[in-house]
Chain A
Amino acid sequence: MLQVDALDVSYGKIRALKGVGLEVARGEIVAVLGNNGAGKTTTLKTISGLLRPTRGTISLDSEPLVGVPPHAIVLKGIAHVPEGRRIFNRLTVRENLMMGAYPRRDAGIAADLDRVFALFPRLQERIAQVAGTLSGGEQQMLAIGRALMLSPRLLLLDEPSMGLAPVLVEQIFDTVADINRQGTTILLVEQNAAMALSIAHRGYVLETGSIALAGTAAELADNAEVRRAYLGE
């Protein structure tokens, strides 16, 4: 479904990605693991068009995405839950969710709103509240719910565990697995490798801008290097 090849991305003179290649097949959860600064967020931002690669290709169902502006990439069915959630603090929960469905003109919006409320009942309780007043966990729910309002084919998740208590992290990851079971393909970037590998089908390890390892979630979880560097053993 998503094919990324030989991707180079630079911030000025600093090369953030060097020849990154990865693929995501329909129906999968693919995790990208790595430390701070390894290039995980840069990879997602480049896929969703916020950054332009200096080299390399990205395609969704063999349609090229490089050079397409972010708002047009959204129309192709890619929703991106950015790092730090980036919900609209001054808008209400309902308005945030409606912005997620911004480009849609179809009749399915109400059904998707119900689906988001089924996944995150808390959001329904907070529907009229200004989003900036939500707790961190609720904000993460809103960020994911907002992305789901696009009814995306591919969901990009950037560090959904960031800044959340362990109980909440578990809850969020359970929901991510549910979303995948309901038919949404997911590319997940995460520092919490144990959590990510527990729900992913396959994974990649990103180190200083290059793919260091790739394999099924089970293979990665068994890999001595991964266990030492990312699973804290």
Chain B
Amino acid sequence: MDLQLLVDIFPQVVLDGIILGFMYALIALGYTMVYGVLEFINFAHSEIFIIGAFVGVELLLGLQSLGALDAVPWPLVLLLALLVGMAGSGLLAVTVERVAYRPLRSAPRLIPLISAIGVSFFLQDMIRLFESLWHNAFNLVYPTIDALNVRLELTRTIDVPVKSLVVILAALGMLGVLWVLVNRTKVGTAIRAVAEDQAAASLMGINVNRIISLTFLIGGAMGGAAGVLFGVQYGLINPYSGFIPGLKAFTAAVLGGIGNIPGAMLGGIVLGLLEAFAASYLSLLTGGAFGAEYKDIFAFSVLILILIFRPRGLLGEVVRGRA
């Protein structure tokens, strides 16, 4: 075993883990916020996430065909892609809630869950149908922006493409804005109040349905932003690419304590790091017996272990009965 190699790649692995982790954190927020107000897992969130990536790629491809992609400064292009991706995913999430979940609000718990799985399949094939008709292909590649692919050499062994730094900064910024929104504004306090006690919140004059829509809007927008960043970072997307990251982000949300917003952020980053370490070190440490392809097993083993040994997650509270 080459100890020097293990040490040398360490910073690179941490960086990969952080990027992946922020991505998971952004997606996990959508699961956890919706769970917070409705105690329901929105299994269509993985598609809401990937729709953001598709909206973003359509914008970039559109700009490219107009020849504007290189003419407009890249930070502006990226900002625009993020905004339309967030708007697309956010509005889609609100619509899905209105159409597929709200009419089932008083139904037994399993019913909206089945509805969510149905929405998930529906959205996957809707994207596929639309892109097939529009581009005659549903595997799309994010157009390259040269400035984003420039590699910054930090040390002899670590170099970072500009886009990775951009992804980290954008995710950090988004998490920061969300934190302020939820903890420092009146409407954020109302979201937390509704999450704790809907009836009591309605007695405060809070329109609970509106807050639930807003929660889907914010969670969806965070997912959409993650989708655009995913496309920018990894390049290739297809209608089914949301599924695995979505499932992992759900794992991250459970890991942090489902319903808990800081928990989702922490869970995402922990899971991203674990996965990056597994991907890079498993084969080195096991002499090749286990390779990077085991990283998914690793992530989902974490889910199972958490469910067995600490079902409330890292930051979750023990669920108490209400008086």
User: Which residues of chain A have a CB within 8 Å of any CB of chain B?
Assistant: 48-50, 69-71, 74-75, 79-80, 82, 84, 86-91, 95, 98-100, 102-103, 146, 150
Contact = CB atoms under 8 A, between A and B. Distances in A.
Contact of A86 (B186, B197, B206, B208): B197
Given A98-B189, A99-B190, A71 B196 contact: no
B186, B200, B204, B208: most-surrounded residue (chain A CB, <10 A)? B204
B135 to A, nearest CB: 46
B190 A89 contact: no
Contact of B205 (A71, A84, A91): A71
3 nearest CB pairs, A to B: A74-B205, A103-B205, A86-B200
A82 to B, nearest CB: 6
Contacts of B207: 69, 71
Contacts of B323: 84
A80 B193 contact: no
Given A98-B186, A102-B186, A48 B203 contact: yes
22 contacts: A70-B202, A71-B202, A71-B204, A71-B208, A74-B204, A86-B197, A86-B199, A86-B200, A86-B203, A88-B193, A88-B197, A88-B200, A88-B201, A90-B192, A91-B189, A95-B189, A95-B193, A99-B193, A100-B204, A102-B204, A102-B206, A103-B204
B203 A82 contact: yes
Q: Which interface residue of A50, A69, A86, A146 has the most chain B CB atoms within 10 A?
A: A86
Contacts, number: 68
B189 A50 contact: no
A48 B189 CA distance: 22
A233 to B, nearest CB: 31
A91 B199 contact: no
Interface in B155-204: 186, 189-190, 192-193, 196-197, 199-204
A91 B196 contact: yes
B205 A102 contact: yes
Given A74-B204, A88-B192, A90-B196, 14 more contacts: A49-B202, A69-B202, A74-B202, A74-B203, A75-B205, A80-B203, A87-B200, A88-B196, A88-B197, A91-B193, A91-B196, A98-B189, A99-B190, A103-B206
Contacts of A146: 204
A79 B204 CA distance: 8
Interface of B: 186, 189-190, 192-193, 196-197, 199-208, 323
A136 to B, nearest CB: 11
Nearest to B207: A71
Nearest to A76: B205
B201 A99 contact: yes
A72 to B, nearest CB: 8
Contact of A50 (B202, B204, B205): B202
Nearest to B197: A86
A90 B257 CA distance: 15
Contacts of A50: 199, 202-203
Contacts of B190: 99, 102
Contacts of B203: 48, 50, 70, 74, 79-80, 82, 86
A102 B192 CA distance: 13
A55 to B, nearest CB: 22
B68 to A, nearest CB: 43
Nearest to A74: B205
A146 B190 CA distance: 14
Contacts of A70: 199, 202-203
Contacts of A95: 189, 192-193
Given A91-B189, A102-B190, A82 B199 contact: yes
Contacts of A88: 192-193, 196-197, 200-201
A71 B202 CA distance: 5
A134 to B, nearest CB: 14
A224 B60 CA distance: 83
B6 to A, nearest CB: 43
A69 B205 CA distance: 10
B204 A99 contact: yes
Contacts of B202: 49-50, 69-71, 74
A71 B193 contact: no
Contacts of B186: 98, 102
Contacts of B192: 88, 90-91, 95
Contacts of B204: 71, 74, 99-100, 102-103, 146, 150
A122 to B, nearest CB: 21
B196 A99 contact: no
A89 to B, nearest CB: 7
A67 B75 CA distance: 51
Given A50-B199, A84-B323, A89-B196, A150 B205 contact: yes
A84 B323 CA distance: 7
Nearest to A75: B205
